[in-house]
Structure 1
Amino acid sequence: MREELLAKTVQLLHSLGFTVSSFLEFNSCIDIAAKKNDSAFIIKVLSNIDSLRPETAMELHKAAAIFHATPIILGEKTKTVTLETNTRYERFGIPVFSKETFTDFLYGKNPMFRSFKGKQTVQLDAQQLVLERQKKQLSQQELGEKIGVTTQTIHRYENGHPADAQDAQKIESLLSCRIISPQTIQSESNVEKIFETHFSEPALEKLFELGVPLAQFEHAPFKAVSTPTESLLINLGKDHRDIHRKALILEKTKTVFKAHSIVISKEYKLHNIGQTTIIAEEELESYSKIQELLKEIQKQEQKNEKKTTF
């Protein structure tokens, strides 16, 4: 079921002109990366959205911040119910949608409802609510009495608090106006820091010493990302097979997010797989500045632009 949802989502994004990469086979916190013009998404696909782990959510937030993308969870159900269409859910500050709702969004229709503690809420145009109430010459108390809520509830709605969906529909009917605003898809990031200063891997420590900020990952398609003047995707490789696999993951990432890429290994000298440079860990000692390493990476990219070697 999850695989089918992912395949259909990839197909949908392709059909709308997005550049798309899928990482399902890599057991990553990112299943889909997609970009079209200024719109970029980092997507995790889950059958049960309650199976999302805090560490996965944190890395989704972090990757989205680095690549200026919107993190999204696509799912089918919670532990107890099937996801409603036209509704925004949320887990760890990340917007969650059914595929149908996400499809509508891509076609320009934002969801109207938000699920909060099992109830459907909506966002009201608070200023419009005040104006329409005053047009009808109703006080907050009178409006509340007519729809069956307290004065305090109307006061909260007029100050921008989410409204119960049924209350909002009653208000619209009574005031003969539209005051329900569509939901946004922006995430509420709770990532305290993106870049690290301490690393368990000596290779990453050396890169950091070259003067490059590094964001470290445990569950992403890459081990680290740096953003000096240009983005650099980094993986650590072990044997021949692992290096090849890690390089191909970076190649897939680069089809969506423009970046240079390297795999650092203890066993192999400087060469490449596709447009990903493979560099021996010991060779990092020969560089004193990140610009020197980037220059060498660019040289390898140009040299191997039309051929792949290993």
Structure 2
Amino acid sequence: MSRDDLINTTRAILAKGGFDISPLMSLRSVCFDVVGRRDDTLLIIKVLSNIDAFSRENAEEIKVLADVLHASPLVIGERSSSGPLEPGIVYSRFNIQIISNDTLADHVLENAPPFIFAAPGGLYVRLNNELLRTVREKEGISLGTLADVAGVSRRTIQMYESGMGAMIDAALRLEEYLDRPIIETVDPFEYKPDVSSRTYELKGNVKSGSMILDHLIDIGFAVTPVTRSPFDALSRNKDVVILTGMDNQDERLIQKAMIASDISRISGRHSVIIVEKKHGRDNVESTAIVSKEELKKMDDKNELTDVILSRGGKQ
């Protein structure tokens, strides 16, 4: 299956599952391919035929976007150098979960989340560690007994009770012996951040080297530059997050503005593109267009925010 077909399959699954999804992106070399929201779940998704192509740089930018936008990063893949991605298994790379479209469809459309995750050493399942400990203590079962049942050491049982994943065979033996459903599902949309966007944030006296972004910093915004997105930075204060682009080529400007507009709509944020000279229009869909000359005259972040809200049609 081609990568475009893979992306369209992902989009179709999410749409059928009730997600509001971004249109097919025409820009290449960006760190994500699909943005989708259903209720409080916001996903930023990269789709790859071979997940070995997922680079650390790509992962870092997706995680920065996820942190700022309060989203979950996800990779959809078809195979790796080790073979095809198996349905019902959650893989990971650079602390971002990876699943196949089959697994996505089961989770989103059939309400059948996966139970197995891949990690160094093999395939594992998650245990309800509190239930495991409670049942063992309540029924007076020793660590040694459970160790014998599972075929592991006493220390391993203690680690299971502390939250460590278990090999599938050991977990099934424990579940059968205890007669309790101690194996838990894996949420492929779960994300525990290991990167804070604050690490890359510029504010105060720190400069970016870009006159436009430096002016945004000077008037009170914190700015996080990005290089693999259809915009150039994320600008924010305590009230708003603004997808911030810079361009002056008409065709590319409209293309970037439309993509930013779709992403801002789905993510519940605002978007602006700052151009070199006054443009013939004040917005493209919900993306505000502001000239560099207009920006120079602004000396307060609220002034720019008001212009963006007014031109973008969001109040």
With the length of structure 1 as denominator, give the TM-score of the two structures: 0.90
- For residues 242-262 of structure 1, give each alpha carbon's deviation from its aligned partner in whole angstroms, at most 9, with x where no partner exists: 222221221222331233322
Contact 1:270/1:280 (<8 A) preserved: no
- Structure 2 letter corresponding to 1:61: K
**What is the identity, as a one-letter code, of the residue corresponding to 2:47?**
V
Question: 1:87: Cα distance to partner?
Answer: 1.5
Residue aligning to 1:91: 93
Q: Please tell me whether residue 13 in structure 1 is matched to residue 23 in structure 2.
A: no
**What do the CA deviations read for 1:151-187 (whole angstroms, capped 9, x no partner)?**
2222211222111111111212233322111123322
Match of 1:186 in 2: 190
TM superposition outliers: structure 1 runs of 4+ over 4 Å: 134-137
Deviation larger for 74-83 or 190-199: 190-199
Distance 2:130 2:309 in 1: 54
Q: Which moved more, 1:40-49 or 1:14-23?
A: 14-23
Amino acid at match of 2:306: K
Secondary structure of 1:264 counterpart = strand
Kept in 2: contact 1:30–1:221 (CA 8 A): no
- Per the alignment, residue 27 of structure 2 pairs with 26
5+ residue gaps in structure 1? 304-310
SS at match of 1:128: helix
Quote the residue 2:52 is aligned against: 50
Q: What SS does the aligned partner of 1:256 have?
A: helix
Match of 1:75 among 51, 67, 77: 77
Letter in 2 for 1:241: E
2:300 corresponds to 1:294: no
Percent identical pairs in the alignment equals 28
| Aligned mates of 1:113, 1:251 — CA distance in 2 | 37
Contact 1:233 1:262 in 2 (8 A): yes
Distance 2:288 2:127 in 1: 52
Q: Which amino acid is 2:308 matched to?
A: I
Q: Which runs of 5+ in 2 are unaligned?
A: none
1:165-204 equivalent positions in 2, closer than 5 A: 165-184=168-187, 185-194=189-198, 195-197=201-203, 198-204=207-213
Separation (CA, whole Å) in 2 of partners of 1:77 and 1:46: 9
Between 1:242-251 and 1:25-34, the stretch displaced more is 242-251
Matched residues in 1 for 2:52 and 2:224: separation?
A: 27
* Structure 2 CA distance for aligned equivalents of residues 54 and 144 of structure 1: 39
User: Does structure 2 conserve the Cα–Cα contact (< 8 Å) formed by 1:86 and 1:113?
Assistant: yes
| Cα RMSD, aligned residues only | 2.2
Deviations 1:246-302 (A, max 9, x none): 212212223312333221122334733233222222321100101112222333345
